Amino acid sequence: MEDSISFGRDTHAAIQSERIGKADSVSDATRRHNYHWAYNRATNLLIPYTSAHPLDLHMPRFNFSPGRAELFYWNSGKILAAGGTRDLPGLMRIDSGELGISQSVGNFTFYAGGTVNKYGYFNGLHTQYGLAGRISYQFTPRLSATVFGDYYFGHMPRMANNMPMPPSMIGYYGRTSFGGYFDIQINERWGVQTGAQAVRQAGTNRYEAEPIVTPYYKISKKVSIGLPVGQILYHVLKR
């Protein structure tokens, strides 16, 4: 998996980003926010997402500042650091950081690290801590499998008026998830990731299963853009 896609997927660590999703109580009236491109650490792709719902595919605006560094490395492993900032006008600012270690053993690649997300909003500041891990196996140069998990501690923050986080912000908040997928590279540019994940619903201890079917286009060796078709169709059928 060392030469696979995304912002340095060989590091298996990049900017922390939110899962696509929202609370079940969000109404159609809340689905009016522009999409942003964000790095999805589990699938290692740039995907569009919104604070409301993944079905309103508006034109995305690229508002992403990646940054990473290899602090120490050896023949088959590295200690890595990554961080970035996202400004969401009218909602909040999100500063994210991650520190982890990557180790390759034969066709296996292991990654484990810790994450910190800091959310700054009107009259409020909240820090979220989490752990991330993944195991990848390279079957052939064009076929690999990855099992991943992201766990976040604590609970969602309260707003300045002691109310829960509004639906317009829930989709940007990091949520615990576990799953796995196959990465099939059809040719030098096109590929698809297919699998499934379980995502903890915002503000609850309930998990919901979602399919992963994400076609992607490889812009360069380090950057790919994908569309989460599986999640979009899942929510269409669910509603």
The predicted structure's pLDDT at residue 169: 86
Q: Are 223 and 46 contacting, i.e. CB atoms less than 8 angstroms apart?
A: yes
| pLDDT in the model for residue 51 | 41
Q: How confident is the model at residue 12 (pLDDT cuts 50, 70, 90)?
A: very low
When pLDDT is averaged across residues 187-203 and rounded to a whole number, the result is 91
Residue with the larger pLDDT of the pair 147 and 226: 147
The answer to whether residues 190 and 142 touch, using CB atoms and an 8 Å cutoff, is: no
Q: Which residues of 73-93 are buried (b: 16+ CB within 10 A; e: fewer)?
A: eeeebbbbbbbbebebeebbe
How many other CB atoms are found less than 10 A from the CB of residue 196?
A: 14
Q: What is the mean pLDDT of the chain?
A: 77
Residue 203: which pLDDT band, with cuts at 50, 70 and 90? confident
What pLDDT does 34 receive? Answer: 44
Q: What percent of the chain has pLDDT over 70?
A: 72
Query: What is the pLDDT, as a whole number, of residue 45?
Result: 63
Q: What is the 3-state secondary structure (H, E, C) of 71-117?
A: EEEECCEEEEEEEEEEEECCCEEEEEEEEEEEEEECCEEEEEEEEEE
